[in-house]
Structure 1
Amino acid sequence: MNQKIMETLEFHKVKALFEPLMLTEQGAVELRELMPMTDAAKIQQAFDEVTDMAQLFVEHPRFSLGATIDIAPAMKRLDLEADLNISEILAVKKVLEVSKELVDFYQQLENVDLIQLPSLFEKIELFPHIQGSLQAINNAGFVEDFASETLTKIRRKIRESEDQIRQVLQDMLKSKSDMLTDTVLASRNGRNVLPVKNTYRNRISGVVHDISASGSTVYIEPRAVVSLNEELTHAKAEERHEISRILQELSDMLRPHSRVIRNNAWVIGHLDFIRAKHVFARTYQATIPTLSLTKDIALLNVRHPLLANPVPNDLYFKEALTAIVITGPNTGGKTIMLKTLGLTHLMAQSGLPILADKGSRVGLFHDIFADIGDEQSIEQSLSTFSSHMTHTVDILATADQDSLILFDELGAGTDPQEGASLAMAILEDLRLRGIKTMATTHYPELKAYGIETLGVENASMEFDSQSLRPTYKFMQGVPGRSNAFEIAKRLGLSTAIIKDAENMISTDSDVNHIIEKLEAQTVESRKRLDTIREVEQENLKMNRVLKKLYHEFSREKETELNKARLEAQEIVTMALAESDDILKNLNSQASLKPHQIIEAKSQLKKLAPEVVDLSKNKVLKKAKKEKAARVGDDILVTSYGQRGTLTKQLKDGRWEAQVGLIKMTLKADEFTLVKAEKAEKPKQKQVHVVKRTTGKGPKARLDLRGKRYEEAMQELDEFIDQALLNNMSQVDIIHGIGTGVIREGVTKYLRRNKQVKEFGYAPQNAGGSGATIVIFK
């Protein structure tokens, strides 16, 4: 389809209405590249997708997708054997997470009949191993310690070096406080330094990193920490190198699957685009039209999508109709009707909902041409008429039976008589060629052409002679009439002058009276049609209410019947037990034959009614299904407090999980499932479920003095979990002062724990900085 029609009808502004509704960059890219289609099958597929989404929203009105960014550049870098950086890996990680959420959603989807969406959901492929490995990088872009054993060792070494440096400097702050301008450490060039008074600069040996502006303070890195800082710098360089190696390893893991991951991203973006179409339809009261291959157009209450308060109109452009000629004065809305027809078809052939009522039909056109507006060219020295005629010539040479042509003020800009004749000749040429055309004109001669010519119909825009304002109502089948005399009369022009003017054009007065009657009949018909539509809407609402009540009644009826069946079964069961006792007594007392006893018992059993097996209820099945762990689920390893992904279930019931770059084998009670957070719901506190340990009771104090760092951190984790499990509001942790390693480890752990409301050192009489008091949320 030609690009000029997109610009003329401002199709880019229509696409801009969808941009705020998009959640993913992939969907936004698809929207930007959207163009009208000419393949009926593809257009119908797009319509069916939106219809499916509407059906899905009935059962899941809060359906949404996680926000993702475009990973196409990252996948291209992988194909070129380049490694991804952290932000690119996070984008891929998000795509895989959203893919997993969509697959889980589709597997649990019930009671929805879909046509096109299943094939999209089924195209998504999951990579639980890769998902587990990507947990090594958290959502903030930090590479976790557990990403590799080497990184864990390096960071432990960094922490120890930092603690040693801090301790040495703290001791010097105390011992040499009289030589310092401040008792707080400063930082220069990435190194911790002492603010030494200039008069004592020779008393403290070390490296001078800076001097204050006044010259009174010299910032010295003491010689005692220089070697420690060198070790720290070396360790940080090793950390950067190890992180680079981890990113390379993750990139190598992703590279063989780049095509599939790129396809997953496209599916996510396409589903987002379909969702945006449905939200647009719901927001703007738009609808999915029927596609007519015979170009039988019927637009019910159609509106222009770019107007703030558009007036709805009905437009019928039947198969046998070739041209619609809209006559009448300016500012009545004729050009808007032209643009509405063209823009509605551009939207429909792009697979978008149109602003019209349900039941509307659109045609299929391979091209749409329009000559709208004043396109006078100063550079080419062309007049308005010449410019329009040049464009018209191009349209006539290119258009065919699969085209739609829109002419605004056809033949204008020249002598009225010649212009009218030229307009009729152009319309007649298009009629004979069977090309659908809508044209606006001021020429009264075209009214007669519309009445007398087969396949051509007159139309006009309604004008309120009382208020002297246009109503912007489209009246099909009624030619436009001039309201000059009525307007002049209401504005105070002399009656004698108006009568003289009417006598001068007495030949047209009868025509104007006929048109006036037709207008009145059209307005009356429209009022009746509006009343019919209101009644129809009321009937539809009543029908929906009755259906809902019927379904509720049926459910309650079935529930009550099932209760009655259960009670009846209990009664019959009791009766059977009693009958067994009676038959035993009879058998022992009388000479009854065994087959007679069996027959009697079977007849009693027939009295028991059939009871519905509630265990087969779909809702209960779905609830049980949601509780069971499945391959690809995100988990939290209880003993380590780290996240991972289930990759395989072993025959003995245990699970294989990928936690960072480490593969683990876990029992079902050694991990908990982590629920995916929905985009539209507020975040909930994540509760770590731990196994209850046996003991005399919960302890409110933990003593870590004398413990090794790893042992202390493990005991701290178990202690906090037990305190949360027992709903304790406050606990004490004794860690001592020592080197400060365990104290800092406790501080970092508490800062990361989301269940901790606040914490701080104990009062001086209760341990001071050697103990920490923790208050939970």
Structure 2
Amino acid sequence: MKQAIQILEFHKIKQTVESLCASSLGLKRVALLMPSTDEKQVEYTLNQSDEALKIILALGEAPLGGVSDITEPIKRAKISALLSANELLSISRLLYAVSQLKAFSDRLTDIKVEAPIFMSQVDSLVSLNRLQSAINDCIDETGSVLDSASPELRTIRRAIQATESRIKEKLNQVVAERRNKLTDGIVTIRNERYVVPVRAEAKNTFGGTVHDQSSSGNTYFIEPKEVVDLNNKLQEYHVEERREIERILRALTEEVKKFVDELSVNVDVLSEIDFMFAKGKYARLIHGIRPKMNQKGIIRLVGARHPLIDARTVVANDIEIGDEYTTIVITGPNTGGKTVTLKTVGLLTLMAQSGLLIPAHASSQLAIFDHVFADIGDEQSIEQSLSTFSSHMTNIVRIMERLTVNSLILFDELGAGTDPKEGASLAISILDYVKVRGARTIATSHYPELKAYAYECDDVINASVEFDIETLSPTYRLLVGVPGRSNAFEISKRLGLKEAILEAARTRVETTKTELTDLITKLEDRGLELDREIQGLQQQNQEVEQMRLDYERKIAKFEAEREKLLEQIKKEAFENIRQAKEEAEQIVADLRQAKKAADLTIKDHELTEKLTALKASEAKQAEQFKRKARNKAPLKPGDEVMVLSLNRQGELIEQTKNGEWMVQLGMMKVNIKADDLEYLRKSVKKKDTAKGKMIHKRRTDIGIQLDLRGERYEDAMLRLDKYMDEVLLAGYQTVTIIHGHGTGALRQGVHKYLKQNKHVASFRFGGAGEGGTGATVVELK
């Protein structure tokens, strides 16, 4: 695909994505961005980009500011090479980003944004808080070693400050006493020693050591003998300071060395996260969507836009190939619109196979091709002294040698640059050759013979780019099913060419060609009319679909609020009953105690009667708060029901003699009163003709994942038990339990439950993209 990548300007897309990276880590990852032919890889990278876009829209960009590539410092620390303060600071900043990302993922969980790929990546990050603190305690934000890094360093620096103060005090006295011998009354530094600027004629009588001379030769920088000993002492302190700083950096380097493996993991993960969010930001920039991908060679683009054309002027088009027809021939005059269509299809295909979202409608889909070939442009090959035709043909020969049944081929002005009749025949033969081998082809041409070719072949269709005669310019709207027509006569007439000349030209055109042109005109007009009608219907469908979604959201919200309110009322009522019961029992106990103490004449049977009446009242109150079953028809074996008192779903097995129903609740069978059962649905079963078994119709309202993170242990186990019952009824084979890492108690509880559940065939930790050790994948029998 290398040539197609260059011709279709995929590198410009990469440049934009690079500009959206937060760090050099992401830049390195974008540099490796290339289309993939592996279906799993394509699906994963598209999901990654789609997830990043969803996170950005919900919570903003990931906190990656200040992160830099620490690969080289890690390598050097591994061999105990001394790290500089700035290198250590970059490690600290990277570890700070790790802690920020973990907090960011917690916020995503709080607002219930599903982001399994990002969560898995964050779970892989290793927090090294002690190392980060150790570095921050010694190095400030500018990369300087702090005085507080060690008591020795603080003592040395205080000595340096005191010595410098004494030197400046003595030099200020020298300046005051010998001002006439100085060129300026200042104190400066040369060769790390304090000096004063002395006039050239006074250098021999001033007294001291010369350390430097000005470029003009008029000034000598002399260290007066009064401060020589102090300067020497200052140098000693600076040597001690450098040694102490080196000792501190050495100690920090050794700390880093202990965690080089963890730091390397963090670098790799942060690189992927930065890359992921750069793709998400690019998707937001182009209003991108995740297309559905297939291995059938079907392209169905709806409202597709070229991503490198200004969004304010680009024209969206619908393009479909690979299902009813495998070849599109776009004909008509050279106006630029045909080539844009070719590049749009090719570039969006490359983007999708690279895991980038595309600017199109959400209903679009693309195929995963082994090869994308493009022969676009009319530049001559100067190096080989080839003509335009020869250059094109050389490229086409290479394509013919490498094409496969799963290839996408884009030909621009196929057969151009030579005799029209020979060029048209050659173009048809090339299209036939490619078509027979099963590849998908889009070709542009201005030869009328290719229009007839498209009409004659069932799996080839004509197309053209709409041209506005009024403005004498293309609209860039693709008209599929309508061949292009030459607008030479109409344009000439609009530009003022004499009618006599036009009439003479028309008479020279063959009658057949004239009839074909008239037919094309009628087809184009009808196509435009149908296109307008289709657009109107699509708009209506979108409005209806939006209304349906809004209605469903409102219904779901209402049901959720209603159930929540009922549950709250029931809890409050039962809590009141429980408290009343406890108070009553306490009163009875107190009365019995009082009877014993005071020998009252209260009879035991009277107390028992009162207590019985209280319990009967309690039961009556509780019954009032129970939701009564709303059954419009008699219950039957096989019905799916809700056990109201338990808030559990089950299936009716049979009715017992006392009028109760035996209900299958997960792995248990219990007898329940009929008024405690509410009908949900028929348990639709169908016979498996291969095995003669009855299997349940799969429920689609039960997810294949259960997220227990943040739950109390007891609540999590109850939810797990209920969920396993539901997925068994739904007929799922594989589900995922997300328990996170935490203390490990929740993970142990989940595994203990799964070991005891006889319906579980096996279970394992999640793999890459499945949550890792923060999730458990369960295979059901």
Deviation at 1:289, TM superposition (A): 0.8
Task: Assess if the C-alpha contact under 8 Å between 2:18 and 2:26 holds in 1.
Answer: no
TM-score for the superposition, normalised by structure 1: 0.71
What is the SS of the residue equivalent to 1:126?
A: coil
1:246: Cα distance to partner? Answer: 2.5
Whether the 8 Å CA contact 1:48–1:115 is kept in 2: the answer is: no
1:83 is paired with a residue whose SS is coil
Aligned residue type for 1:356: A
Structure 2 unmatched ranges of 5 or more? 627-707, 713-742, 744-781
Question: Which residue matches 1:13?
Answer: 12
Whole-Å separation in 1 of the counterparts to 2:193 and 2:617? 93
2:515 corresponds to which of 505, 510, 513: 510
Residue deviations 1:393-448 (CA, integer Å, cap 9, x gap): 11111111121111111111111111111111111111111111111111111111
Q: Which residue is equivalent to 1:93?
A: 92
Partner Cα separation in structure 2 for residue 217 and residue 312 of structure 1: 75
TM-aligned CA deviation for residue 221 of structure 1 = 3.2
* Among candidates 480, 486, 490, match of residue 482 of structure 1: 486
Is 2:25 the partner of 1:23?
no
**Structure 1 residue identity aligned to 2:608:** H
Q: Deviations over 1:617-655 (max 9, x none)?
A: 99999xxxxxxxxxxxxxxxxxxxxxxxxxxx9xxxxxx
Cα distance in 2, alignment partners of residues 419 and 214 from structure 1 = 80
CA gap of 1:194–1:482, structure 2 versus 1, over 3 A, is closer
Q: Separation in 2 of the partners of 1:116 and 1:215?
A: 70
Give the direction of change, closer, same or farther, for the CA distance of 1:118–1:529 in structure 2 (3 Å limit). same
Q: Is 1:128 the counterpart of 2:141 in the alignment?
A: no
Q: By how many angstroms is 1:176 displaced? A: 7.1
Structure 2 equivalent of residue 656 of structure 1: none
Stretch deviating more after TM superposition (61-70 or 29-38)? 61-70
Q: Which has the higher mean CA deviation after the structures are superposed, 556-565 or 376-385?
A: 556-565
- Kindly report which structure 2 residues correspond to 1:37-436, keeping only aligned pairs within 5 A, or say none: 37-79=36-78, 81-107=80-106, 109-110=108-109, 111-135=112-136, 136-170=138-172, 184-194=186-196, 205-209=207-211, 220-308=222-310, 309-436=313-440
Relative to structure 1, is the Cα distance of residues 171 and 326 closer, same or farther in structure 2, using a 3 angstrom cutoff? same
- 2:221 & 2:196 partners in 1: Cα distance? 5
CA distance in 2, matches of 1:35, 1:582: 79
Q: Distance in 2 between matches of 1:62 and 1:377?
A: 46
Selected match of 2:603 from 568, 583, 591? 591
Q: Which shows bigger deviation, 53-62 or 12-21?
A: 53-62
Q: How many residues align?
A: 615
CA deviation profile, 1:91-120 (whole Å, cap 9, x unmatched): 222222212222333345422223322321
Distance 1:508 1:224, change over 3 A: same
Does residue 472 of the first structure (1) align with residue 490 of the second (2)? no
Q: Which amino acid aligns with 2:518?
A: H
| Corresponding residue number in structure 2 for 1:738 | none
Change (3 A) 1:437 1:234: same
Structure-2 change in CA distance of 1:548 and 1:208 (3 Å): farther
Pairwise CA distance, 1:215: 8.6
Quote the sequence identity (%).
39
Matched to 2:374, the amino acid is A
Do the aligned partners of residues 237 and 473 (structure 1) sit closer, same or farther apart at CA in structure 2, a change above 3 Å counting?
Answer: same
For 2:259, what is the secondary structure of its paired residue? Answer: helix
- Identify which of structures 1 and 2 has the higher relative contact order when contacts are C-alpha pairs closer than 8 Å and 6+ apart: 1
Code of the residue aligned with 2:523 in structure 1: it is L
CA distance change for structure 1 residues 521 and 67 in 2, over 3 Å: closer, same or farther? farther
- Closer, same or farther in 2 for the Cα pair 1:317/1:191, shift >3 Å? same
Amino acid at match of 2:612: E
Q: 8 Å contact 2:329–2:462 — kept in the other structure?
A: yes
Question: What per-residue deviation string (whole Å, max 9, x for no partner) do you get for residues 718-752 of structure 1?
Answer: xxxxxxxxxxxxxxxxxxxxxxxxxxxxxxxxxxx
SS state at 1:130 partner: helix
In structure 2, how many angstroms separate the alpha carbons of the residues matched to 1:555 and 1:232? 76
Q: Which moved more, 1:419-428 or 1:138-147?
A: 138-147
The answer as to whether partners of 2:168 and 2:187 remain within 8 angstroms in 1 is no
User: What's the secondary structure of 1:131's corresponding residue?
Assistant: helix
Structure 1 partner of 2:460? 456
* Aligned CA-pair RMSD: 3.6
> Is the 1:180–1:196 contact (alpha carbons within 8 Å) kept by the matching residues of 2?
yes
- Code of the residue aligned with 2:373 in structure 1: it is F
Which region of structure 1 is more displaced relative to structure 2, 231-240 or 199-208?
199-208
Structure 2 counterpart of 1:271, which letter?
A: I
The CA distance in 1 between the partners of 2:156 and 2:274, in whole Å, is 43
Q: What's the counterpart of residue 677 of structure 2?
A: none
Separation in 2 of the partners of 1:517 and 1:288?
A: 38
For 1:248-297, what per-residue CA distance to the aligned partner results, in whole angstroms no more than 9, with x for missing partners? 33223223433431221121121112112122212211111111111111
What secondary structure, in the 3-state scheme, does the structure 2 residue paired with 1:413 have?
A: coil
What does the per-residue CA deviation read over 1:184-243, in whole Å, with 9 as the maximum and x for residues that have no partner? Answer: 544444333356788987887543446778999765434332212111111112212222
Structure 2 Cα separation of the partners of residues 618 and 551 of structure 1: 24
Is the Cα contact below 8 Å between 2:322 and 2:440 reproduced in 1? no
Cα 1:260/1:541, change in 2 over 3 Å: same
**Worse-matched range after superposition: 345-354 or 501-510:** 501-510
Unaligned runs of 5+ in 1: 611-616, 622-648, 650-777
Distance (whole Å) between structure 2 residues aligned to residue 293 and residue 466 of structure 1: 43
**1:347·1:353 contact (CA, 8 Å) conserved in 2?**
yes
- Give 1:298 shift: 0.3
